[in-house]
């Protein structure tokens, strides 16, 4: 079935199953760094004292600029826009994955099985805590959906169209496009050396990218290296590494912090990919091999030499493609091995009804029976999100507190900024990457949550320690001493601060005016 066309119904089924398994977020999680920034660009009177928003906007353009401005025309219809864009990004991705998979797996249903395996049980088995699929609409999701079509074009030797698509992907999400473009460029260079393509093709391929996305990347890099407004002192590269790489984002950057089971699965899949594609596709083999080499170099540069410049490439983003190609390779090898022993029938007559029925059943469970699932994921879908007490109280915050209020909130809270539309003293999830703000962000985190880079554990694993410090009664004295102007605190309902007035509460949470 190599001539099979991508199935839209299958893509819609996969989207339904992904939401059933991983849930859906709106205004929380990774969107805390995007949607509030779009709100601010639309209405600059919002977030007047918010450390993240003001720090992010101090350096323009920044990594959120393009996507935030693309959202602006839809700012009054954000909820439906984000839902439709998450649907569009996922369907576009799955259609592209089908097109890629059909190149190597003859049977359509085995190709579909490979996609399902890669996207559901193995979705987060790439390295660096990166995934093909995200439970909310964000720039990386759209960029990944574009990149898969660029890879397809590359394998079809449509190099100039590939470069154009990679440029678009880079504008939307810098590293999703850049990391893959680096590997594709190296493959092209090798093709020039062995005289498979003329030099002018390689030059044109690179020129299209560097004259578009490349210019944008240089501007972003210069902005991060230059001075930004504010009274904060820029940190050194060594301090930046300790704070952002080792303390805040070890799950993205530090190889030795990755779970061993994920390392094992990833390298097994990579080995399978090298074996399979060595016989089936030289360009795909080279992609996996160069990706593996790049990961090894990157891991040494970051883990051992603490190189911030190389670290900023977050090269582990390439592993989502290596993992997927590895799954395709395993299924492809199984198909070849068992060709004489099995025959999967073409179920065309019942295929479409079956896809529709399973998708509808998935949505029935999501809407009516999600509380009975054996796992807990957020379903922040339109009216369903109102069941979340944190979202509910944050929406009330917007109504009962002044626009210039400054909040402190629990360590892992991401609901306040978007739903409450109020400034935060500091947040762990939303952090500014500019050197001028990293040191102050770290100082505030340590002050509020009592955690530091010296702790034995790092990243979000610090939640228990951070919560214990946050709910220590004498922690609130720092506000008067330092004069940060914090006006409100969001806490669990059963916590009563030593001073302050209760102004809002629901079954789980409360807000105190200090």
* pLDDT number for residue 17: 98
**Average pLDDT for the chain:** 92
Per-residue exposure over 292-302, b if at least 16 CB sit within 10 Å of its own CB, e if not: bebbeebbebb
Helix, strand, or coil here: 62?
A: coil
Percent of the chain with pLDDT over 90: 79
Q: Tokens representing 402? A: 């002044």
Contact 488, 514 (CB under 8 A): yes
DSSP string, 183-218: HHHHHHHHHHHTTSS-HHHHHHHHHHHHTTHHHHHH
Residue-wise pLDDT for 182-239, tens only, equals 999 999 999 999 999 999 999 999 999 999 999 999 888 777 666 656 678 888 999 9
Q: Kind of pairing, strands 488-492 and 509-513?
A: antiparallel
8-38 per-position pLDDT tens digit: 999 999 999 999 999 999 999 999 999 999 9
Beta bridge partners of 510: 491, 505
The answer to whether 170 touches 144, Cβ cutoff 8 Å, is no
Of residues 3 and 314, more confidence is placed in 314
Residue 312 has what pLDDT? Answer: 92
DSSP H helices in 314-370: 319-337, 348-368
Tell me the per-residue pLDDT of 311-360, one tens digit each, with 9 for 90 and over: 999 999 999 999 999 999 999 999 988 865 666 666 667 889 999 999 99
**DSSP codes joined into one string, 64-97:** THHHHHHHGGGGGGHHHHHHHHHHHHHHHHHHHH
Whole-number Å distance between alpha carbons of 154 and 466: 47
pLDDT value of residue 1: 46
Q: Specify which residues 491 forms β-bridges with.
A: 510
CA angle at residue 488 from 482 to 494, to 5 degrees? 115
Which of 277-291, 310-324, 360-374, 435-449 is least confident? 435-449
pLDDT surpasses 90 at 303: yes
99 touches 145 (CB < 8 A):
no
- What kind and span of H or E run contains 144? helix 139-155
CA atoms within 13 A on the CB side of 294: 25
d(CA 191, CA 185): 10
Closest C-alpha among 247, 250, 270, 256 to residue 318 = 270
**Strand, coil or helix: 488:** strand
What is d(CA 182, CA 197) in angstroms, rounded to the nearest whole number? 18
Closest C-alpha to 294, from 269, 275, 322: 322
Whether residue 55 contacts residue 230, with contact meaning beta carbons closer than 8 Å, is answered with yes
pLDDT in tens, 483-498: 678 899 999 999 988 8
Give 304 or 62, the one with higher predicted confidence: 304
Give, in order, the Cα–Cα distances in Å from 242 to each of 84, 95, 254, 459: 39, 41, 11, 12
What distance in Å separates the CA atoms of residue 252 and residue 258, rounded to the nearest whole number?
9
User: Degrees (nearest 5) of the Cα angle 190, 192, 195?
Assistant: 110
- The residue among 399 and 458 whose pLDDT is bigger is 399
Listing from the earlier edge strand, what are the strands of the sheet with 406-408? 423-424, 406-408, 488-492, 509-513, 501-505
325 burial class (0-12, 13-18, 19+ CB within 10 angstroms)? buried
With vertex at residue 292, the alpha carbon angle to CA 285 and CA 103, rounded to the nearest 5 degrees, is: 30
Structure tokens at 415: 């609901």
Mean pLDDT for 123-135 is 92
Residue 225: count other Cβ atoms within 10 Å of its Cβ.
12
- Residue owning tokens 């301090």: 239
Rounded mean pLDDT of 410-434?
93
Q: Is the peptide bond before 401 cis (omega within 30 degrees of 0)?
A: no
Residue 509 belongs to what H/E stretch?
A: strand 509-513
CA–CA distance from 377 to each of 18, 19, 122, 467 (Å)? 11, 9, 17, 21
Can you tell me the mean pLDDT for 36-49?
Answer: 96
């Amino acid at each position: 079935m190599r001539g099979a066309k991508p199935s839209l119904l299958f893509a819609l089924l996969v989207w339904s199953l992904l939401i059933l398994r991983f849930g859906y977020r709106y205004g929380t999680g990774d969107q805390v760094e995007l949607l509030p920034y779009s709100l601010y660009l639309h209405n600059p009177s919002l977030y007047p004292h918010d450390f993240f928003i003001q720090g992010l906007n101090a350096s323009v353009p920044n990594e959120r600029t393009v996507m935030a401005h693309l959202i602006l025309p839809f700012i009054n219809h954000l909820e439906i826009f984000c839902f439709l864009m998450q649907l569009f990004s996922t369907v576009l991705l799955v259609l592209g994955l089908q097109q890629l998979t059909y190149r190597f797996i003859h049977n359509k249903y085995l190709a579909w099985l490979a996609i399902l395996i890669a996207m559901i049980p193995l979705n987060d088995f790439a390295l660096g805590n990166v995934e093909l699929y995200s439970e909310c609409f964000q720039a990386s999701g759209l960029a990944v959906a574009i990149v898969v079509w660029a890879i397809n074009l590359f394998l079809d030797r449509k190099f100039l169209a590939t470069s154009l698509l990679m440029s678009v992907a880079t504008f939307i999400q810098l590293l999703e496009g850049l990391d893959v473009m680096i590997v594709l460029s190296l493959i092209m260079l090798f093709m020039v050396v062995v005289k498979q393509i003329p030099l002018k093709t390689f030059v044109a391929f690179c020129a299209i990218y560097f004259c578009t996305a490349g210019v944008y990347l240089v501007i972003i890099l210069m902005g991060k290296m230059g001075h930004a407004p504010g009274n904060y002192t820029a940190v050194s590269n060594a301090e930046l590494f300790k704070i952002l790489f080792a303390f805040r984002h070890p799950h993205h950057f530090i190889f030795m912090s990755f779970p061993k089971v994920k390392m094992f699965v990833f390298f097994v899949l990579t080995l399978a990919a090298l074996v399979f594609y060595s016989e089936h596709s030289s360009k795909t083999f080279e992609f996996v091999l160069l990706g593996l080499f790049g990961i090894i170099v990157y891991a040494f540069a970051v883990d051992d030499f603490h190189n911030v410049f190389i670290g900023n490439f977050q090269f582990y983003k390439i592993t989502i493609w290596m993992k997927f190609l590895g799954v395709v390779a395993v299924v492809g090898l199984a198909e070849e091995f068992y060709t004489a022993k099995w025959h999967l029938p073409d179920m065309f007559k019942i295929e479409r009804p079956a896809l529709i029925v399973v998708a509808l059943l998935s949505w029935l469970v999501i809407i009516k029976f999600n509380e009975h699932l054996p796992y807990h994921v957020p379903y922040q879908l339109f009216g369903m999100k109102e069941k979340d007490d944190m979202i509910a109280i944050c929406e009330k915050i917007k109504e009962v507190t002044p626009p210039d209020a400054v909040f402190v909130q629990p360590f892992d809270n991401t609901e306040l900024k978007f739903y409450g539309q109020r400034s935060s003293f500091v947040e762990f999830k939303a952090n500014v990457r500019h050197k001028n703000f990293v040191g102050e962000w770290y100082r505030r985190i340590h002050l509020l949550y009592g955690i530091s880079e010296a702790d034995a554990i790092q990243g979000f694993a610090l939640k228990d320690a951070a919560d214990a410090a946050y709910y220590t009664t004498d922690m609130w004295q720092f506000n008067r001493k330092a004069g940060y102007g914090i006006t409100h605190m969001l806490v669990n309902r059963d916590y009563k601060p030593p001073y302050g007035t209760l102004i809002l509460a629901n079954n789980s949470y409360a807000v105190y005016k200090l």
